[in-house]
Chains A and B, each alone.
Chain A
Amino acid sequence: MPEVLKEKEQKKLSAKDFASDQDIRWCPGCGDYSILKQVQSVMPELGIPKEDIVFVSGIGCSSRFPYYMNTYGMHSIHGRATAIASGLKASRPDLSVWIITGDGDSLAIGGNHFIHLLRRNFNVNVLLFNNQIYGLTKGQYSPTSELGKKTKSTPVGSLDHPFNPLALSLGADATFIARSIDREPKHLKEILLRAERHQGTSLVEIYQNCNIFNDGAFSTFTDKTNKKENSVYLEHGKPLVFGAELDKGIILDGFHAKIVSLKDDNVSIDDLWVHDETDRNKANILVRFFEDNATDADARPRPFGIFYQEERGTYEDSLSQQLEQEVELKGAPDLNKLLAGANTWKK
């Protein structure tokens, strides 16, 4: 290896090293900027050389992302980043692979590949930018838009019941399920770090504001006045507490989650649901905290953080093991033997 490369390897990288020389073309004020910044800032902390990192995206506003990263990258075709990344990871388990996708890209046109990626459990990270709208095609409803959404393609309201991306992911047996939001950079960065450390497919849904076509879609979770009332931040081993004065909590009554007031004399913090990332049953309940917080007075707060994670062998590890076993069983490859087959004759 040339000297200069050795030096480079030892050089501590900064967020700036991960920014490419390309002008960023998202609309001013787009939530994507914040996500890009956090991804670039988390990269040096991973300790992975930038040539070993690949960002793969599909089509949509968020899918421009790889152009802005000074790593290897592919801006592919609509909905297929998950399938392309599967082949890449199968061929190159040594790489750190990040999939950048949106709600249309991963849940409409790419819905099939999305669920199959999750069940196979390749060790990749999926950042699902959810803005509940089609931005690049200028404002049609998406699979996560709320029922009745009025858009250019649904002037009198959409008839589609929306997907709950995290419930879908859990149903597809994802091994790491998390949610964050563009306006909470510290939280987002922490989740990104945890996602990369998880061995298996890490699904991170990121609420992202499209200030042009769906401005304020997540204002219930970002406006200072009410965000604390409408969101609960999950931490492993900690009780589910929320509210502006941290005066509310969630208790688990059988299979039912209920909001309680800690001001109530009969409830103490010890009675609350303690978050356990490894509990699949509880995760099933948590992902269903999905009421419309803007209109439903009884809505439970929307959870952010890591809902669930489990250890399960990755696809690429199983594949490598299988190939090794086959060498043990059948011996090292011998092309001449293979070409000759079992029966030959001489002329």
Chain B
Amino acid sequence: MTLEKENTQVKNVLDKVTILYAGDSGDGIQLIGNQFTNNTALYGNDLSTFPDFPAEIRAPLGTLAGVSGFQINFGNSSIFTPGDLCDVLVAMNAASLKKNLSRLKKRGTIIVNTAGFDKKNLRLAGIDPVDNPLTNSSLEGFKVHEIDITKMTRENLKESSLGSKERDRCKNMFVLGFIYWIYNRSLDSTIDFLERKFKGKQEVLQANLKVLKSGYHFADTSETFSNRFEVKPAEMQPGKYRNIVGNQATALGLIAAAHRSDMNLFYGGYPITPASDILHELAKHKNFGIKTFQAEDEIAGVCSAIGASFGGDLATTASSGPGIALKGEAIGLAVMMELPLVLVNVQRGGPSTGLPTKTEQSDLLQAMYGRNGEAPMPVIAAQSPSDCFEMAYEACRIAIEHMTPVFLLTDGYIANGAEPWKFPSAEALKPIVLKVKDARAEEDAPYLPYKRNEDLVREWAVPGTAGAEHRLGGLEKDKETGNVSYDPENHQEMVKIRAAKVNRIAKHIPKQELDSGTTSSKLLILGWGSTYGSIKTAAKELQSEGVDVAHAQIRYIHPFPENLGEILSNFDKVIIPELNDGQLIKLIRDRYLIDAKGLNKIKGLPFRAQEIKEEVLNHLK
């Protein structure tokens, strides 16, 4: 659409902005969050998002428990986190304001839907009507914009044949249109989206479009804001970009690896939050020959993948902590049979059912040790939404080239978060070397399925290969024939071989690098996985304030990069921030015998950069 006043409006140019959309879980908050994200990405800002929603699909309406939030941080330079505190808080009801006010900056902007502050909503939010934040003075110091969004939406759709519930459901579009105007955006990406989403549902489409535009025009004509704001596109490395969500990136990484290795992709899994979107994404691309199998339980999910791997497919599964616990025995079988298998754990708060929709890094030791017997396997971790692509691809490469199950750890934070991604071309992907056994003549010597190469990797002979018939299983194997062996010497040797095989993968992964700082810096912040953005932001801010710190983020955890010990030896002080009660720190202390200090947050939420900065400064006092 054309924006008549576009060039006449006064614009305030900002470097970066953090907006938190909050409302009831039925208010369509995630949808407008995603829409604003895509629009922002296309506009050219760098960005990072943090969707935060309750585990209940329809938590009690209007209550604190039912509040759904979507935070986006966007700017004209590199953005690594969704932002500590927000500049703008959109609150669709009293509960969402109450729950999120502490996340708003001093003198921040609040946009409220006044209809969400009636007696009933106040009561549901546990607020006495006399303490209504819109009428008492508790919001003094903030810039508050009160709009009766519900009423405006209804007014707009007076003529619509939709039911009142359906009409009210459009109110999120009013907010989105309103915000689009404030940040000087085009409505086109959302109009395109609505036209696709409501194809064949003209009434619903027209209602949404009308309310979207009405929100936009209202912002313009009501003079709620005297100025529009603009965040200029960010300077980024030249190339082609798209917006990507972590789970989607993981799925694409698996598909790309199958494509590059010329294998069929098999995914066996069982729905679980927050991993299900990987299954959903893969199931969308069946024209790639992807076989997705929604199994009867977590165990069957991994077992079907093991069967497919035996058959010669690139076999994958994904789950979260509780599901991974169920898969444990079968993963041990894959370790024993030395078959390629990729297991993605999209970690969530634990133990047990824990906090299904909240993030945590507390399954690292489960991935390392959560199997009976000595059952080592590679463990790697993604550090951002787009990095899920690269690490899923790496998990497949390692599994195929080293004949082993591989754990990829992501978590709810990066799995649901989004960022711009400079995506690679298919041709630029690292090669994956797949070697499968050719048919053998009958008079050849007996086939030895556990014969190994210099990396201790055994051969892969898939059914259908004549002359290489063999039996695998969970019983201890003779070191060459693979036949059942109870020989004590053989068992000890096989345990050592399986461990050495995984350790030798260190020769085939990238060396550890410092993300910032130098080896002569006073302190090293050592992170792993999804804490990357928070630590990077903290480190950069500290460095710009003259504090000499270095930052390294580990993505390859087992085995560690070969040079990690050497890097660590340069630092007197090492701080390890983790979203758990101290897991990587155990591995680091065990392996390198250094006196690392932990910074542990176990609240189901990612780190704020500020929290890391404070800890670093405490250690440098």
- Listed in ascending order, the chain A residues whose CB lies under 8 Å from chain B are 1-2, 4-5, 8-9, 20-22, 49-54, 56, 59, 66-67, 69-77, 80, 83-92, 94-95, 112-113, 116, 319, 322-323, 326-327, 329-333, 335-336, 338-341, 343-347
Contact = CB atoms under 8 A, between A and B. Distances in A.
The 5 closest A-B pairs by CB, nearest first: A87-B304, A75-B473, A87-B307, A88-B307, A83-B303
B176 to A, nearest CB: 17
B42 A345 contact: yes
Contacts of B305: 87
Nearest to A315: B293
Instruction: Name, among B244, B470, B473, the residue most crowded by chain A CB atoms within 10 Å (CB to CB).
Output: B473
Contact of A83 (B244, B287, B300, B337): B300
Given A83-B307, A90-B266, A338 B252 contact: yes
A332 B286 CA distance: 10
B231 interface: no
A52 B475 CA distance: 24
B296 to A, nearest CB: 4
Interface in B456-511: 463-475, 483-484
A90 B312 contact: no
Contacts of B306: 76, 84, 87
27 contacts: A4-B441, A51-B439, A51-B463, A51-B467, A66-B473, A73-B473, A74-B310, A74-B472, A75-B472, A75-B473, A76-B306, A76-B473, A77-B329, A77-B474, A83-B307, A86-B295, A86-B307, A87-B293, A88-B308, A89-B307, A91-B311, A113-B300, A322-B286, A338-B252, A343-B242, A347-B237, A347-B239
B601 to A, nearest CB: 33
B266 A91 contact: yes
B369 interface: no
Nearest to A63: B473
Interface string B277-301: 0000000011111110101110110
Contact of B307 (A51, A56, A335): A56
Given A67-B484, A335-B255, A87 B463 contact: no
Given A80-B300, A83-B307, A336-B426, A343 B287 contact: no
A74 B338 CA distance: 12
B183 interface: no
Contacts of A72: 463, 469-471
A80 B466 contact: no
A75 B483 CA distance: 11
B40 to A, nearest CB: 11
Given A91-B312, A336-B426, A80 B463 contact: no
A92 B311 contact: yes
B424 interface: yes
A347 B287 contact: no
A117 B38 CA distance: 42
Contacts of B255: 335, 338
Given A4-B442, A83-B307, A87-B268, A116 B285 contact: no
Instruction: Name, among B44, B287, B289, B466, the residue most crowded by chain A CB atoms within 10 Å (CB to CB).
Output: B287
B239 A116 contact: no
B240 A346 contact: yes
Contacts of A331: 287
Given A66-B471, A83-B307, A87-B309, 15 more contacts: A5-B441, A54-B310, A72-B463, A87-B268, A87-B293, A87-B303, A87-B307, A87-B315, A89-B307, A91-B312, A95-B463, A113-B296, A323-B287, A323-B289, A343-B41
Contacts of B289: 323, 327, 333
B259 interface: yes
Instruction: Name, among A5, A86, A335, the residue most crowded by chain B CB atoms within 10 Å (CB to CB).
Output: A335
Interface of B: 38, 41-42, 44, 189, 236-244, 252, 255-256, 259, 264, 266, 268, 285-291, 293, 295-297, 299-300, 303-313, 315, 329-330, 333, 337, 422-426, 439, 441-443, 446, 463-475, 483-484
Contacts, number: 219
B330 to A, nearest CB: 6
A347 B288 CA distance: 29
Contacts of B296: 83, 112-113, 116
A289 B285 CA distance: 49
A83 to B, nearest CB: 4
Nearest to B427: A336
A4 B443 contact: yes
A84 B310 contact: yes
B264 to A, nearest CB: 7
Contacts of A323: 286-287, 289-291
Contacts of A69: 471
A73 B483 CA distance: 12
Contacts of A74: 310, 337, 471-473
Instruction: Name, among A4, A94, A336, the residue most crowded by chain B CB atoms within 10 Å (CB to CB).
Output: A4
B425 A346 contact: no
A92 B463 contact: yes
Contacts of A50: 469
A77 B472 CA distance: 11
Nearest to B442: A8
B264 A77 contact: no
A287 B133 CA distance: 71
B240 A51 contact: no
Contacts of A94: 464
A341 B467 CA distance: 45
A219 to B, nearest CB: 33
B236 A347 contact: yes
B240 A340 contact: yes
A90 B425 contact: no
Contact of A80 (B244, B330, B422): B330
Contact of B425 (A8, A332, A336, A344): A336
B333 A77 contact: yes
B471 A67 contact: yes
Contacts of A112: 296-297, 300
Contacts of B315: 87, 91
A285 B583 CA distance: 59
B236 A91 contact: no
Contact of A90 (B244, B291, B423, B472): B291
B439 A75 contact: no
Contacts of B286: 322-323, 326
Contacts of B474: 59, 75-77
B252 A339 contact: yes
